[in-house]
Amino acid sequence: AAKATGKNAVRFFDPDMEQQISQRLRLESELRRALARDEFELYYQPQFHASGALFGYEALIRWQHPVRGYLGPSEFIEVAEENNLIVKMGEWALRRACEQASKWMRTYPREVIRVSVNISPRQFHSPNFVQSVAMALNNSGLSPWLLKLELTENLMLDHIEQIIQKMARLSDLGVILSLDDFGTGFSSLYHLKTLPITEIKIDRSFVRDLNSDPSDLEIVRSIIDLSHNLHKSVIAEGVETREQYQLLQAMGCDAYQGYYLGRPACADSLKIDRVQDISSSIY
């Protein structure tokens, strides 16, 4: 044990650190309970084609915490990601999003309303992942092509052969794969060329200063051109202003998402109009 009395003694029990650890542990057990008690909810943020037509929604998880109120993912995803809770949470989100999209499918049979679901690296790598996607589709009755999975570059750090295989199986199911937060992680152009990814999602950080930072403008232009040269569709996230929207339009971006066009909201309060016709679906 430490004799924490001397001048240069090591302090094993930093009170701040102790507090941080106990907060983490509390959050962990609260998350576990939240799953059992069904305290999570999905919000949906619209995605628009360059023509202005709505073609889908990204599902974003929220936590109705019994004491702290509504919490966004930044408050809990990291802790969930550090243990296997993210897998259960992600499977729940996948099931719920497919059920919702299946309702849209039945309500708007002539139109395209996709749902886009975020998949954490740990969930992607879990052994039953492909099966859980197949089951979510089966149980909800959702057509596979109406489901989009948002994967991040960070899941491609290693075991590339296995990743290629898994993505191929997902793409065989008929679902669409999107590469989220593009440009912030570690994917190589080799991956981009090889993997069955249909859509590239430009990270918000490149969109934010689009009208003031010439480097960001060139980066975004390059991502758009690269995507098109590789026959992939490209969507910008975090579009907050008319200026950003117009710059992106001028550079030929295919699709848009952001507060300028629509904020995330619960399923019941969505205004669903100007939906893309099934005959003019992109991808």
The yes or no reply on residue 74 touching ligand C2E (CB under 6 A) is yes
How far apart (Å, rounded) are the C-alpha atoms in residues 130 and 136? 10
| Among 7-15, 21-29, 67-75, 105-113, the segment contacting ligand C2E (CB under 6 A) | 67-75
Backbone φ and ψ for 265, nearest 5 degrees, come out as -150, 165
Asked if residue 252 binds ligand C2E (CB under 6 A), the reply is no
CA 190 – CA 146 distance, rounded (Å)? 27
State the Cα angle at 202 between 187 and 211, rounded to 5°: 135
Instruction: Choose among 148, 124, 126, 127: nearest CA to 137.
Output: 148
Please identify, among the stretches 16-24, 26-34, 104-112, 257-265, the one whose residues bind ligand C2E according to the rule CB under 6 A: 257-265
Tell the smallest beta-carbon distance from residue 206 to Mg ion (Å).
10
Nearer of residues 87 and 112 to ligand C2E, judged by Cβ:
87
Element (H, E) at 102: helix 85-107
Query: Cβ closer to Mg ion: 30 or 46?
Result: 46
Both structure tokens of 264: 């995330």
Alpha-carbon distance of 245 to 253, in angstroms, equals 9
The CB density around residue 198, as the number of other CB atoms within 10 Å, is 16
Q: Which is nearer to Mg ion, 150 or 199 (CB)?
A: 150
Binding mask 100-139 for ligand C2E (x = CB under 6 A): ------------------xxx-------------------
Which of 30, 180, 199, 254 forms a contact with ligand C2E (CB under 6 A)? 180
Residues that bind ligand C2E (CB under 6 A): 45, 60-61, 72-74, 77, 90, 93, 118-120, 150, 180-181, 204, 237-240, 258-259, 264
